[in-house]
Structure 1
Amino acid sequence: MTFRFLIFALLTVTLSSSQNKIPKGNLSDDTIFFEFAIYFLKNDKIDDDEAKKIFKDQYPNFKVHDTFPNPDTLKGNNVIITGVDNVMIDFPPMDLEYLKYTNQGLTEREKTDLQTSKYALVLDFTCEKNQLIASLKKANDYIFSLIKNKDAVVFDSETRETFSKKFWKEKRLISNKSVNLAEHITIHFYQKDEFCRAISLGMLKFGLPDIVIENLSCKSGPELASFINLIAQTLFEKQALEKSGVLNLDINTIENKPLKTRLLSDLYENATKQAEVQLIEGGLEEGDPENRLIEVAFSSDNPQIEQNEVISKIFGSLDEVTFLKHDEKLEAASNRAKAKIPELQKLFLAGLPLNTHLLIKFPFESEDGQREWMWVEITKWKGEKVDGLLQNDPRFVMTLKAGQKVTKNINDMFDYILYKPDGSQEGNETGEIIMESQR
């Protein structure tokens, strides 16, 4: 048993889906909880008695508990340090498959040795919100003091990440009163039915709800992570909503300099750096963090249009238009792409592997008869009909917008791109020919 289940009773948690606006006012919990674990590898170890003594000597303003205190009477800064001898039963580490996606700097040897760890220290902290930064800094510093000369790794129970000593020192030690939340939370992004869902993990450590966005394009770029990090940092720095269901975002007002610098470095020329987003109560799903959820709300009919517009408004966008005539070389490349239709259909209907995306280029006609070729992210394929999300902002077809749901006949396909999990891609031979013609 860990501190988590006792402290969870102190939190106000939304357990069902709702379209209720987040009310204005304070968003933060009065009592904040965070949990870490140190897994010792091979035969290394610091037992809980020694760990408690070290902590008491370094941080006398914390109350060190030997047993779980009553949550109703809990005040100030508290810690309970629990030694776990039967690791694989009582506090098992993440397995090798999960570590492929969540490890932070672990070597292959550390990943393997973690699977047979014989001893762990579980550290559960609580503090009052006005002591959060100081308490989190002390907790992270204390953990590093324990592991720096040991063969050990650190697990963050909220983000579900496992850190090497080097990465813990680089990413989690707080040097001043300003915290870059992007270094302390993570974002899970996964397919849900036709579209994708993004959710933060780790906001509980800051007494705030985690952030969820539903029905996203699965081809969402790095701007989505920047968007969520901007929301998280804004919530942390403001701590409250001035108006029910509304959060104003502005990169220029971010106080944390490292995050602000990073966000400003990723902008296109047409970026406004600000936008207003709507917030409603989010619904918990299996695998979500044990925390309140705030959903960034968009229109229910075709939310991908509004998602694209808001993110593009903040960070800007770049859509280049190329004018050209189709020649024999281009048509031959397009025909080779069309010959792949049966193979692509079979692959798509079997279920694309994780982080694999299929884009197909189709022609669209404007009201005055101009033809414009644009990319569509495929979300459904039935017979000759494919459904998808438009990936470009049209120049001539003014009835369409990026993110809009469209339906096309696969036989009208001009080319395709298959994005693979390793970052490589297949297809787009016509794109290479077009680029050559522009040189």
Structure 2
Amino acid sequence: MPSPKTTAFFPRLALAALILSSAGAVAFAATPTATAAPATAQSAAKAVPGAPVPAGSPQQTGPVHFQFAIYYAKTPATDPMAALRSQLAKLGGSPKLLKAAPTPATATEPVVFANWNTTTVLKEYRAPSMEMLQRFGRGISREQAEALQTADKALIIDFAHPAQQSSAAMQKALQLTLQVARDTNGLLWDEETREVFSPDEWQKRRIDTWAGGVPDMSQHTTIHAYRSGDLVRAITLGMSKFGLPDVVVSDFSWSSNRPMGNLVNMFSQAMVEGATLAQPGQYDLDLRALKHAAARDPQLTHLKPNAAAVARLSLVNGTWESGDPQNRLYEIRFDRYKGPDRYAQQTAMLVSVFGADEDSVTRLKHNDELLAASKAANAQLPKLRDAFAKGLQPGEYILVKAPFTTRSGSNEWMWVEVARWNGDVIEGLLKNEPVEVPNLHAGQMVKVSQAKVFDYMRRYADGREEGNETSKIIARMQGPKK
């Protein structure tokens, strides 16, 4: 029997990097795992990295193809191929079961090809490791994860259909794969998002979340975020199942991970709902105009009163990196917003779209208690610098509070998220909007001196925080809020 690599519509992807934590639909990854450069839609379209994406629909014109699989740690309850044929008969023969794998271009109707593999799974289609399953396993028990380590049987199912039939064909593919897994007592694998599901979790996330024929894309994709250089890069996995480009955002900070993930999810949702670009490289994403209520409403609920709820996106062809999905890439940029650099423009977009609490200035004199707390914080900085040099965990970041000279010559103390730390020089993103310091903006890359740092705050990937003791003292000095 042929191996999965020779029967699939496209080659199996290597597993993504270790995911260490997650926030919403965003997964933190240390580094991407190497895969071959894409030889499919991106190269076929001859997309020039950095060039504006074309106007019109982002939907691909050629057939959509994707792969699911069902793993078996022991002999399945019934023959998987018989179960597949039975379910196809109940669906009315669509998709059409093929005896041999076609080339994607020949998919003029919904088709499916199945490879019941009992010989090369451990070598060429091995289930994820225990460590991976702790992060990629959805509804998987420890016992199931352990059993998967020796799984040597899998039903590998390739689907293809014309792009214009994407939503209806995807719903059938999801239902078909689920029912076969239930009938045969298997666990489901999504090749594009690189996740393993229990049947109940597949039902919950992949089937029950559709509304009016529209999927909630946050349940059909994942976002991997990892440090790239001094800052963070995030990319979706799974958009190609719908014939759409995956979405990339680069050069943001870990403290912006959640709003950036929300932005990416909402743009992905807009595309699956039929968004089109009126002109090359530009799209105005209106959160309130999204049709899928379960995808839209949680975002609207958490908007600040000053939120515009509209993101003016710049879109360019993304630059493919090792570990990225084999797909077209749309990269979001922020140059339609004002700011002295791309970091400030990025912050301006997030504040405009989601709103923000207004920064205020507290005017006070440093008393002995405050100075003692600052001195204690400063004593911890060498240890923090060493930890930063060794490499923080994905999702972890350090803020320092440093002075900036005002118009009057006094100091305005503001937080900076550390991006680089060399000796006494700390470079990072300004996290406050200055009140009395001209020519500075929130999100701007700035330099400060370690020797002048007043306090620090370290936030770990699991949400724990340490430091920032001076803020507690300042709060007491101010007294209760009226």
**After TM superposition, is the score higher than 0.5?**
yes
The one of 240, 249, 257 equivalent to 2:293 is 257
Instruction: Show CA shifts across 1:94-149 (max 9, x none).
Output: 22222233222222222222211121111111112232111111111122212335
1:240 is paired with a residue whose SS is: coil
Contact 1:34 1:126 survives alignment (8 Å): yes
311-320 vs 383-392, greater mean Cα deviation: 311-320
1:5 is paired with a residue whose SS is: coil
Instruction: Show CA shifts across 1:284-305 (max 9, x none).
Output: 1100000000111235983211
Q: What is aligned with 2:260?
A: 224
1:187 and 2:227 correspond: no
The one of 344, 349, 360 equivalent to 1:305 is 344
179-188 vs 128-137, greater mean Cα deviation: 128-137
Per-residue deviation at 1:237? 1.9
Distance 1:416 1:17 in 2: 42
1:5 and 2:5 correspond: no
Contact 1:28 1:239 survives alignment (8 Å): no
Q: In 2 relative to 1, CA 274–143 (structure 1 residues): closer, same or farther, beyond 3 Å? A: same
Matches within 5 A, 1:160-309: 160-173=194-207, 174=210, 176-299=212-335, 302-309=341-348
Cα RMSD for the two superposed structures: 2.2
Per-residue deviation at 1:239? 4.2
1:220 is paired with a residue whose SS is: helix
1:110 is paired with a residue whose SS is: helix
TM-score normalised over the length of structure 2:
0.86
Per-residue deviation at 1:63? 1.3
Per-residue deviation at 1:58? 2.1
44-53 vs 110-119, greater mean Cα deviation: 44-53
Percent identical pairs in the alignment equals 31
Distance 1:325 1:336 in 2: 18
Instruction: Show CA shifts across 1:251-288 (max 9, x none).
Output: 11111111111110121111011121111111111000
Q: What is aligned with 2:117?
A: 84
1:61 and 2:94 correspond: yes
Instruction: Show CA shifts across 1:34-79 (max 9, x none).
Output: 2111112344354342133123312213210121124343211000
Instruction: Show CA shifts across 1:357-378 (max 9, x none).
Output: 1111111122223422111111
Instruction: Show CA shifts across 1:150-184 (max 9, x none).
Output: 54321111111221222211110035312111111
Paired residue total: 439
184-193 vs 22-31, greater mean Cα deviation: 22-31
1:331 and 2:371 correspond: yes
Q: For 2:286, give the aligned amino acid.
A: D
Distance 2:236 2:206 in 1: 17
2:273 is paired with a residue whose SS is: helix
2:356 is paired with a residue whose SS is: coil
Per-residue deviation at 1:355? 2.1
Per-residue deviation at 1:433? 2.2
Q: In 2 relative to 1, CA 283–46 (structure 1 residues): closer, same or farther, beyond 3 Å? A: farther
Contact 1:196 1:215 survives alignment (8 Å): yes
Contact 1:48 1:81 survives alignment (8 Å): no
Q: For 2:290, give the aligned amino acid.
A: I
Q: In 2 relative to 1, CA 175–247 (structure 1 residues): closer, same or farther, beyond 3 Å? A: closer
Distance 1:108 1:195 in 2: 34
Distance 1:116 1:380 in 2: 44
Distance 1:133 1:182 in 2: 15
Contact 2:83 2:183 survives alignment (8 Å): no
Contact 2:361 2:435 survives alignment (8 Å): no
Distance 1:382 1:197 in 2: 22
Distance 2:441 2:248 in 1: 24
Instruction: Show CA shifts across 1:284-336 (max 9, x none).
Output: 11000000001112359832111111111111112443513322111111111
2:254 is paired with a residue whose SS is: coil
Contact 1:10 1:71 survives alignment (8 Å): no
The one of 381, 386, 405 equivalent to 1:341 is 381
1:130 and 2:179 correspond: no
Distance 1:74 1:155 in 2: 23
Note the residue ranges of structure 1 that are not aligned, 5 or more in a row.
none
Q: What is aligned with 1:407?
A: 447
Q: In 2 relative to 1, CA 276–366 (structure 1 residues): closer, same or farther, beyond 3 Å? A: same
Contact 1:217 1:403 survives alignment (8 Å): no
Q: What is aligned with 2:71?
A: 39
Contact 2:40 2:326 survives alignment (8 Å): no
Q: In 2 relative to 1, CA 254–350 (structure 1 residues): closer, same or farther, beyond 3 Å? A: same
Q: For 1:251, give the aligned amino acid.
A: L
Per-residue deviation at 1:9? 7.1
Distance 1:191 1:396 in 2: 33
Contact 1:16 1:283 survives alignment (8 Å): no
Q: What is aligned with 1:24?
A: 55
Distance 1:223 1:345 in 2: 27
Distance 1:149 1:370 in 2: 72
TM-score normalised over the length of structure 1:
0.94
Distance 2:46 2:461 in 1: 34
Distance 1:398 1:313 in 2: 21
The one of 465, 469, 473 equivalent to 1:429 is 469
